[in-house]
């Protein structure tokens, strides 16, 4: 495959990464090497542009420690720290329902470690669900290229089991039996709203 600039000159990749982009296998939707966050962001943009839903990633809170003012019109942040997020990654509205979820990835092929979920996230989703919000996890088994919407009830059951001394992970078999699997596509990449329609009252 040859790519040329508008002036007719041949395009030559400047890095191995750019070279890989030209390979056909990297153009297939199943092997684009994108993170789960990028896939969700692209899907959310698709929803927004087509007036399907308004869902955004929440900004990560930052504590600014040191700021310098080299001139009156400019400020430069010299030192800052990420604060621990108190909620989940994404929220928004869909068909009048408040949507709140967190995105998680694991390389594990047989189970999802619950250490990937933080207690404050569980508490936040429980509080949101009490206000009729639709809360869930969107989990990607990276090595398997499988995606699941995990209803809050399923997460809470596994969480309670862990707190009582049981297993500290959710086996893949429970995902297959209780979660909603998403089949990745081209556009949108992850149509998770189609899956959570099953969770709506």
| pLDDT value for 102 | 96
Parallel, antiparallel or unpaired: strands 97-106 and 180-182 = unpaired
Q: How many domains does the chain have?
A: 1
Q: What pTM was computed for the model?
A: 0.76
Per run of 10 residues, the mean pLDDT along the chain (length 201 residues) is: 47 48 39 80 97 92 83 81 79 97 96 96 96 97 97 98 98 98 94 93 86
Give the CATH number, domain containing residue 117. 3.40.1350.10
| pLDDT value for 84 | 66
Neighbouring residues of 150: CB distance < 8 A, sequence distance ≥ 6:
136, 137, 138, 139, 170, 175, 179
| pLDDT value for 33 | 63
DSSP sequence for 63-106: EEEEEEEEETTEEEEEEEEEPPPSS-SEEEEETTEEEEEEEEEE
* Residue 27 maps to a domain: no
Give the structural domain span for 136: 39-199
Cross-strand pairs, 170: 112
Tokens in use for 134?
Answer: 């639709």
| pLDDT value for 73 | 77
| pLDDT value for 124 | 95
* Residue 5 maps to a domain: no
């Amino acid at each position: 495959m040859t790519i040329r600039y508008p002036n007719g000159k041949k395009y030559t990749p400047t890095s191995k990464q750019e070279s890989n982009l030209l390979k056909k296998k990297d153009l297939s939707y199943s092997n684009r090497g994108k993170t789960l966050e990028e896939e969700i962001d692209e899907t959310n943009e698709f929803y927004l542009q087509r007036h399907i839903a308004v869902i955004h990633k929440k900004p990560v809170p930052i504590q600014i420690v040191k700021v310098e003012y080299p001139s009156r019109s400019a400020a430069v942040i010299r030192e800052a720290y990420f604060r621990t997020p108190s909620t989940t990654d994404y929220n928004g509205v869909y068909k009048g329902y408040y949507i709140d979820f967190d995105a998680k990835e694991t390389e594990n092929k047989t189970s999802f470690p619950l250490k990937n979920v933080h207690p404050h996230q569980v508490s936040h989703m429980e509080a949101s669900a009490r206000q009729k919000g639709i809360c869930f996890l969107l989990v990607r088994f990276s090595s398997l290229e499988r995606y699941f919407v995990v209803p809050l009830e399923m997460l809470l059951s596994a969480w309670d089991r862990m707190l009582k001394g049981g297993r500290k992970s959710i086996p893949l078999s429970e995902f297959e039996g209780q979660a909603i699997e998403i089949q990745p596509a081209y556009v949108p990449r992850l149509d998770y709203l189609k899956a959570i329609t099953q969770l709506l009252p």
